[in-house]
Chain A
Amino acid sequence: MRTEGQTLYAADVTGVSSLGKFYVEHERGLIGTGAVLTFLLAWEAVTRSRLVDPLFLSSPTLIVRAGYELFAEGTIWRDLRVSGTEFVVGYLMAAGVAIPLGLALGWYRRLYFCLGPFIDVLNAVPRVALLPVIIIWFGIGVWSKIVVVFLGAVIPMLINTFSGVKTTEERFLKVARSFGASELKIFWTIVFPGTVPFIFTGLKYAAGRALLGVVVGELYAATAGIGFLITVSGATFQTDKVFVGILIVTTTGVLVVELLDRLERRFEGWRPKVGSAT
């Protein structure tokens, strides 16, 4: 779109062979892939050579096979559905509460005075410690986990949104007031756009917390789910399956953050691109 405005800090590639040029252009990807591959190969080698018991450490090929079997058997679909529901519902509920509330807290000082203490306490209390009472209140079904996910995700979203509003620049408020903007107009044209980057930061951070909530919740008490799969497999020394579970959770986390990154980029045409190259 606005390519003409971008400076390309192209490396000096004149006089280098085409292979060298390819390397320079893809240096980051190549080094990253190389490192990961080396790691996987080393892992495989360590278990193949019986240096370490595969039961103990598992190995990439064993994990792939276990994953294949799990999907072939089909029970994993139920786990995915359960965990997926917990994650999506809890996360969206958190966003639905945290973003409007965070905006309101930043905007209305007195509301913050009133709710601030509760937020600080909720932030300080380890959510895992609440698990027993959450189970008592909500049972061992999906709802208790949804609550755990919600509690884990809501705080980072809330705090980030709130600080976004708080960092609104005085000079932009001055401009708005000088032009006679109404309070509502000031909110939507000055405060909110400046807060969007903060909201995304909160959303991304909260994704990790939400996944943690799913796994920990299911670890503690559940009858299905990826966390449940991890617990059961671990208890029965099926290391391969444990890693499959971990892989699924991790991949979800990475995908959610990537999705949010893309969404963010659509909102952020106005920000200079910093550090995108090299």
Chain B
Amino acid sequence: MPVKLEAQRICLEYYQPRTGRRLLALDDIDLAIMDGEFVSIVGPSGCGKTTFLNVVDGLLPATSGRILLDGKVVTEPGQDRAMVFQDASLLPWRTVLGNVLYGLECQGIGTRPARQRAQHFIEMVGLQGFEHHYPYELSGGMQQRANLARALVMDPQVLLMDEPFAALDAQTREVMQEELLQIWRQAKKTVLFITHQINEAIYLSDRVIVFTTRPGRVKQSVTIDIERPRKLAVKRDPRFLQLEDFVWNLIEDEVRKTMLADRSSRGSAEVGPPDSGV
């Protein structure tokens, strides 16, 4: 299988004009994702996962390094990728249907076929009957599902998903996981998936990437060699639990580091004044 998506030595530094400080969010990330691979990223909160996904989508220019998609350098968002945003970010002045149609409108896809596709995905995420509701009339989980439909309807080659199921109850979450796996399998998509739920990452993925605490680096890439299709019961399989434990420990190490670093020298992980040259 060819490499679909490649991150080469990605560094990203945020600059806060208010304080004049720079903050290194991503430090030298190297990652290659195969065509059709399902990869999850896990890591402590604030380690740069969302930032990384933004860079991959082309929303944030990397300070150094580059993203390659099918061997071509990514400089801006494109139709081959679609993002499920962490904060649902539904446009408040559009109904659910309007929001799901938004991307198709941007691509200039005709109303009739667009509506049919939108309807299909609205039903898939279980929001039928709410097409004409505004975001403020939805629960957090419903908003998140509309957000999901908005990305899926674009039928992108690469799906970038930032904690898409975080706001859902356990049952809905499992249904959504099934749907996602089915889309992934049938449409042969490449998925980059962020989650805080380790068992979700393992259940869904071919590979789980563990990020270090900020600045985000790849701590370890864990291959999940559990055959597919996976049944829900696999989550209680000893091999599954072993993997879960393993990833858990990797993250725990990192979280501990953050806490200690914060306590001993506040903000030492941050890059001091701009002239300190990192």
A residues contacting B by CB (< 8 A) are: 2, 5, 171-172, 174-182, 185, 189-190, 193-194, 269-272
Assembly CA distance A185 to B105 (angstroms): 9
Complex CA–CA separation, A5 to B138 (angstroms): 10
Contacting residues, chain A, for B83 (C-beta < 8 A) = 178
- Assembly CA distance A80 to B92 (angstroms): 43
Q: What chain B residues lie within 8 Å of A5 (beta carbons)? A: 133, 137
Given the interface contacts A172-B89, A270-B94, does A181 sit within 8 Å of B134 by beta carbon? no
From B85, B87, B93, B103, contact of A194 by CB (8 A): B93
Whole-angstrom CA separation of A27 from B31 in the bound complex: 66
Tell yes or no: B276 within 8 A of A by CB. Answer: no
Most buried by A among B59, B76, B106, B135: B106
Let me know if A179 and B77 touch, CB within 8 A. yes
Contact of A174 among B59, B92, B105 (CB under 8 A): B59
Inside 8 A of B95's CB, which chain A residues have their CB?
A: 270
Known contacts A178-B57, A270-B134; is-contact A171 B91 (Cβ 8 Å)? no
Smallest CB–CB gap between B101 and chain A, Å?
11
B59 touching A177 by the CB < 8 A rule?
yes
Q: Is B277 an interface residue (CB 8 A)?
A: no
10 A/B residue pairs, CB under 8 Å, sorted by A: A2-B133, A175-B85, A177-B76, A177-B77, A178-B82, A179-B107, A179-B154, A180-B78, A193-B93, A194-B93
The B158-198 residues at the A interface (CB cut-off 8 A) are: none
Chain B residues lying within 8 Å of A176, measured Cβ to Cβ, are 102, 106
Shortest Cβ distance from B156 into chain A, in angstroms?
10
Question: Within the complex, what minimum Cβ distance (angstroms) separates A7 from chain B?
Answer: 11
Do the beta carbons of A178 and B136 come within 8 Å of each other?
Answer: no
Interface of A is mostly: helix
Residues of B within 8 A of A174 (CB): 54, 59, 85, 89
Q: Mark B77-120, 1 if CB is under 8 A from A, else 0.
A: 11100110101010111110000001101110000000000000
Report A-chain residues with C-beta under 8 Å of the C-beta of B105: 185, 189
CA–CA, A192 and B174, complex, Å: 38
- A178: chain B residues at CB < 8 Å are 57, 59, 77, 82-83, 85
Complex Cα spacing A272 to B135, Å: 10
**Is there an interface contact between A181 and B106, defined as CB atoms closer than 8 Å?**
yes
Are B106's CB and A180's CB within 8 A?
Answer: yes
Interface size class of B (residues with CB under 8 A): 20 to 34
- Say yes or no: A180-B92 contact (C-beta < 8 A), given A171-B87, A185-B106, A189-B102: no
Q: How far is the CB of A127 from chain B (nearest CB, A)?
A: 35
Complex interface: chain B residues within 8 A of A181 (CB):
106
Residue in chain A with minimal CB distance to B134: A270
Identify 13 new A-B residue pairs, CB closer than 8 A, beyond the known A176-B102, A179-B77, A180-B103. A5-B133, A171-B85, A174-B85, A175-B89, A178-B59, A180-B77, A180-B106, A181-B106, A193-B91, A194-B93, A270-B92, A270-B95, A270-B136
Q: Inside 8 A of A269's CB, which chain B residues have their CB?
A: 134
| Chain B residues positioned under 8 Å from A179 (CB to CB) | 77, 82, 102-103, 106-107, 154
Alpha-carbon gap, A224 to B83, bound state (A): 63
Complex Cα–Cα for A175 and B95 (A): 15
Given A185-B106, A270-B136, A272-B136, check contact A180 B91 (CB 8 Å). no
Distance in Å from the Cβ of B230 to the closest Cβ of chain A? 30
Tell me, in angstroms, the Cα distance from A159 to B76 when the chains sit together: 33
How many angstroms between the C-alpha atoms of A175 and B92 in the bound complex? Answer: 12
- Chain B positions within 8 Å of A271 at CB level: 92, 136
Within the assembled complex, what's the spacing in Å between the Cα atoms of A60 and B57? Answer: 69
Interchain nearest-CB distance for A171 vs B (Å): 5
From A196, which residue of chain B is reached at the shortest CB distance? B93
Instruction: With CB as the reference atom, state the residue of chain A lying closest to B107.
Output: A180
Chain A neighbourhood of B92, CB < 8 A: 270-271
* Complex Cα–Cα for A174 and B137 (A): 23
B60 CB → nearest A CB, Å: 9
